[in-house]
Amino acid sequence: MVKLEMIYLMKVALRFNSHNHLRDFLMISRHCLEAINALKVNPFFTNEVSVVWFFKNFTPETFDSPLINLNCFDLFYKVKQIRNTDFFCVYTKGQLTETFAKNIFPKVTRLVMVDDKNDKRTKFNEFLIEHSEYFTSLYHFAGDLKMAVCFFEKYTEHGNEKYLHLPNLVVLNKNGKNLIKRNYENLVLLERLEKCVPDNNRVSIYVIVSNHDPQTGTLFNAFKKINICYDTLVCSDSEKACKNVICTKGTLLIDGNIENEKTNDCIERTCAISALIINPSNLLNEWTVPSCVDSVGIWSNNNSNQTEQFNEVHYKFPDVTSFSLNNCLQLSFHKVFGISSLTLSNCQNILFGKECVFLSLKKVVLESVFSVTFDIDLSALEYLKIDESKAVSFVGVGDIKEINIRGCFTIDLPQIDFQHKTIYIAQSLEISFENSNPIEFMGKDFNELVRAMEVLFEYPNYRSDLTKFRVHKFLPQTTKLVVVNREILRVNPFDTDETTADMVVSKYFYCEDNKNQTQTFKTPKGSVGIKSLRYFELEVTGFSEMSFGCCDGENYDNDYYEDTHVGWEDGSVGYHSDDGLVWVDSFRQERALDYGNDIDRTVTVGCGYDIKKHTIFFTYEGKIVSKTVVKWKEVNALIALGAFKKVFINYGDKQFKWMISDYEKLDCRVV
């Protein structure tokens, strides 16, 4: 029993992505400490601070860091084994030497080589290939086809020494920046690779081809030591080709139409939990989605003939919780759904008929859609977001809790009382509520709501006094985050990694419509209203991998409201927590003070916009640490988060740490 408990606790510990979470885990009991001491490898951390802390306090044999560009190179010398580590950071620091290779490369058990056509990366890869003889402990090699060929040719002296220790598993899925395709160039590369592999069946090579092309279907069939796999299921392919399909990160790609038996066999064989159907020409086939699938998406090329007749979708989703449509048109649904989340993007003429039953649909997101009709009562609905859409109608939305509508025209909603709900409606026209007045309880006329929705209506923070400004609520741009009162929360604390960032956005931090409004600042001597200033603060507790700042509200690419940090893209300025750097238009501009890097310590940072001087400025514990002049007509405020513990937003409800008396001292410079 003790052994089972120890194994369980060790598995739990490996799932933590920061030392903050691990420290909380240690506080539970001494058994948790014993489990961590028994670990042979570090947990799956997403930041260097946590890695350094862990190796300072514990002594695992193996260092594993697929998501971290490590700068503390001493760790490489402390462990017996290294896996999934990209030594590119060592190369860029000028420390990837012959001595380093002799001492460190023999410890590497898993290696990934990529070729992104970057000059520095190319020279780095050349160094690895030139010193391939030192990788004597590899059991797993993955990455680029051409890099793999060059690596193994150098390691085995073009096959003359192929009985040296070779990896047990080789997985190749790219050739440069492109997916591997069946062509003669790749055929030659695979022939060269096979010559380096012995005939002892100890090396398994899997090459993942982008799709199965019937015209070149036999091109790769001659290989005896290389297994050809496909990243996409095409049901019209041969049975053999379908059996060689794999899924990536739990998602099975299905190109074309569904064949019930063949599709489900592939799903169950690959243990897929998500299915993405690409460019189906016929959605009329019956398909009962297997119980292992949690998410289904349909992405169409939208090239089908536009007719007035709807095409009924005959898919059954008994256990699916998330369903999405992208670029689809003329579809109707009349089934029973158990889904909790529905997303429609770039869709047109979609009907959910009266026969539809949504047993537990809590969240609906509509983005850039036209003519979408819900002819049934969504009785369980809690959250509705409609963005840049036209002609959307609902029969019923139950006792909905939150509504976000932006840039919309002709949205027909049922009777709704805004009281005790969170409402955000901006830049929208002809929003109706079944001839009712949702703000009647406020003693306000419906015409006032109509006027406000053309600019911005926000409840419960609605202010009829248009001379006053209040920072608008930060809205999540992804389903992974929620904002509850003033706190930003991650729906699943483990759903994050260092390569991505999830964002919340406050629109119209400054714009033409609010330039003459005054923001109220609380001071020890009372409240002060300032017309030419916008400001908010964040209270950051514990380790928090994040950035915040502003972007050009008119020209910032909407695609960059997800999976990027503030300042990494053109038209944005961001203050980053890990190193204190301020990024401007994708360039590092200056270093301020880092924050969010200490266990349980709370740091207050802030961001403001000086309207007179067109200046974005940042504060740290009430002191200005950075200023940047911008030439934007509209400003949005952004917060991007990776792994974080606690982040609270101060909109001005309580006194800021930054003293308003410092405003006159704001001396800014153009960057």
For residue 61, tell me if it sits in a domain.
no
For residue 571, tell me if it sits in a domain.
yes
CB 624, CB 610: distance < 8 Å: no
For residue 657, tell me if it sits in a domain.
yes
Please list the alpha-helical segments (H only) found in 244-364.
260-270
Mean pLDDT confidence for 257-278: 90
Give how many domains the chain has, as a whole number.
1
In this prediction, residue 620 has a pLDDT band, given cuts at 50, 70 and 90, of very high
Q: Residue 40 pLDDT > 50, yes or no? A: yes
Please tell me the predicted confidence (pLDDT) of residue 306. Answer: 53
Q: How many CB atoms lie within 10 A of CB 59?
A: 11
Length of the chain: 671
pLDDT tens per residue, range 385-410: 999 999 999 999 988 999 999 899 99
Residue of 463, 498, 495 lying closest to 476 (CA atoms): 495
Measured between alpha carbons, how far is 245 from 173 in angstroms, rounded to an integer?
A: 13
Please tell me the predicted confidence (pLDDT) of residue 2. Answer: 47
Q: What pTM value is reported for the model?
A: 0.77
Which helix (H) or strand (E) is 636 found in, with range? strand 635-650
CB 211, CB 241: distance < 8 Å: no
For residue 609, tell me if it sits in a domain.
yes
CB 381, CB 400: distance < 8 Å: yes
Please tell me the predicted confidence (pLDDT) of residue 308. Answer: 61
Mean pLDDT confidence for 152-167: 87
Backbone angles phi, psi at 266, to 5 degrees: -70, -40
Q: How many CB atoms lie within 10 A of CB 643?
A: 25
Look at the alpha carbons of 17, 23, 26, 28 in this order and tell me if their dihedral is positive or negative.
negative
Please tell me the predicted confidence (pLDDT) of residue 221. Answer: 73
Measured between alpha carbons, how far is 50 from 25 in angstroms, rounded to an integer?
A: 14
Measured between alpha carbons, how far is 606 from 624 in angstroms, rounded to an integer?
A: 9
Lowest mean pLDDT among 117-131, 143-157, 428-442, 559-573: 559-573
pLDDT tens per residue, range 81-131: 999 888 988 898 899 999 999 999 999 999 999 887 778 889 999 999 999
Domain carrying residue 518:
468-665
For residue 522, tell me if it sits in a domain.
yes
Out of 51-55, 103-107, 461-465, the most confident range is 103-107
Q: How far is CA 253 from CA 52, 257, 314, 431, in A?
A: 39, 12, 19, 38
For residue 169, tell me if it sits in a domain.
no
DSSP tag of 472: P
Alpha-carbon torsion, ordered 246, 252, 253, 259, to 10 deg: 100
User: Which strands sit side by side in the sheet containing 390-396, from one edge to the other?
Assistant: 311-312, 329-333, 348-352, 370-377, 390-396, 409-412, 429-432
> 253 - beta bridge partners?
232, 276
CATH number of the domain bearing residue 654: 2.60.120.920
Tokens found for residue 223: 């290989």
For residue 146, tell me if it sits in a domain.
no
At 523, is the secondary structure helix, strand, or coil?
A: strand
Mean pLDDT confidence for 564-576: 92
- Select the more confidently predicted residue: 464 or 321: 321
Q: Residue 526 pLDDT > 90, yes or no? A: no
Please tell me the predicted confidence (pLDDT) of residue 231. Answer: 86
CB 101, CB 129: distance < 8 Å: no
For residue 273, tell me if it sits in a domain.
no
Please tell me the predicted confidence (pLDDT) of residue 464. Answer: 66
